Amino acid sequence: MAKNVAIVGATGAVGQEMIKVLEKRNFPVKNIKLLASKRSAGKDLLFKGEKVKVEELTTTSFKGVDIALFSAGGAVSKDFAKHVIDAGAVMIDNSSAFRLEEGVPLVVPEVNPEDVKWHKGIISNPNCSTIIMVVAINPIYKLSRIKRIVASTYQAVSGAGASAMQECIDQTRDFLNGKEIKPVNFAHQIAFNLIPHIDTFQENLYTREEMKMVWETRKIMHDDQIKVAATTVRVPVLRSHSESLMIETEKKLSLEQIKEAILKAPGVILEDEPQNKVYPMPFFRAGKDEVSVGRIRYDLSSETGIMLWVVGDQLLKGAALNAVQIAELL
């Protein structure tokens, strides 16, 4: 049955991807409503070859809407959640506003699709780096419970939005032309640099982005005992996040078992032929739906440890695609 769909934050990087994903996956859209701030209202965007005018987001925007896909920041999600629910719609929210709230499912369809059933009007999309990680490790978790994860991320600038992507391009050009560089979206120059700082630092000296990977992984996997330590790093890559993962399982698994499980799992592909220089790389995963796993090897410092290199397009699986997959579950 066709649904009336609204996209909040339609002109942003993730919002535009949501439009493309709905179209590509032939989601049964009866009517689409594109919503944004007053500043962006009036713009025309394409959906299935037809122009759709962007409307200003207001408290009455959700009348007649069945599913509202939100990607406009946590403050907007909090301000409009009640209006979405009162209108009888379901909010699928890409911000961190409700992810850890009791009673709000935090869903990755390949991992915990059944959690959609207990929503009360809001379903949260996890953080992009968390989604990419749990899609990759879930097939392994099914073979043996994972006790511990040490994650280092290499996160693309598009994770900070469309203006951050442009800043990386502009800074690269300016650097090569010997011009002065003035950071806007990031704490420091991003061109030809790495910044080990995403989101705000917490009292424990981890950033909020790093702690999201701890908190959200436990909720998605339904495992409060899983130990996670993360270092999240912004890198001068336009699209697709990469992650170096060390996972420690309860049972010792063979590399063959792990590869076979990944090959059979939904939403993940195996790119693991190091002898032929085949491994996941962000440039080549941009625009692809699946999370790619490679460089699978034993951790030399642990009896049951496994090392993985994981890459996924965070605008797609890390955001827009995951949200639309949740809508498909509904």
Does 106 share its domain with 247? Answer: no
Which residues in the chain come in under a pLDDT of 70?
none
Using CA atoms, how far residue 186 sits from 73, 97, 171, 201, 319, in Å, is: 17, 22, 11, 14, 21
CB 159, CB 316: distance < 8 Å: no
Beta bridge partners of 53: 44
Does 112 share its domain with 24? Answer: yes
- Is 128 annotated in the active site? yes
Does 149 share its domain with 282? Answer: yes
DSSP state of 88: T
Q: Among residues 83, 119, 128, 168, which one is catalytic?
A: 128
Q: DSSP 3-state assignment of 105?
A: coil
Does 107 share its domain with 22? Answer: yes
Does 137 share its domain with 120? Answer: no
d(CA 9, CA 27): 19
CATH code at position 74 = 3.40.50.720
Domain limits for position 55: 3-126+320-329
Give the pLDDT of residue 114: 98
Q: In what order do the strands lie in the sheet with 55-56?
A: 55-56, 29-36, 3-8, 67-70, 90-93, 122-124
Beta bridge partners of 231: 152
- Is 241 annotated in the active site? yes
Give the pLDDT of residue 1: 87
Give the pLDDT of residue 291: 98
Using CA atoms, how far residue 82 sits from 60, 90, 98, 212, 280, in Å, is: 11, 11, 13, 25, 41
Does 135 share its domain with 119? Answer: no
Does 92 share its domain with 195? Answer: no
Number of domains forming the structure of the chain:
2
Give the pLDDT of residue 285: 97
Give the length of the chain. 330
Does 110 share its domain with 136? Answer: no
Does 276 share its domain with 136? Answer: yes
Give the pLDDT of residue 161: 86
Does 208 share its domain with 287? Answer: yes
Q: Among residues 83, 119, 168, 241, which one is catalytic?
A: 241
d(CA 233, CA 79): 30
* Whole-model pTM over 0.85: yes
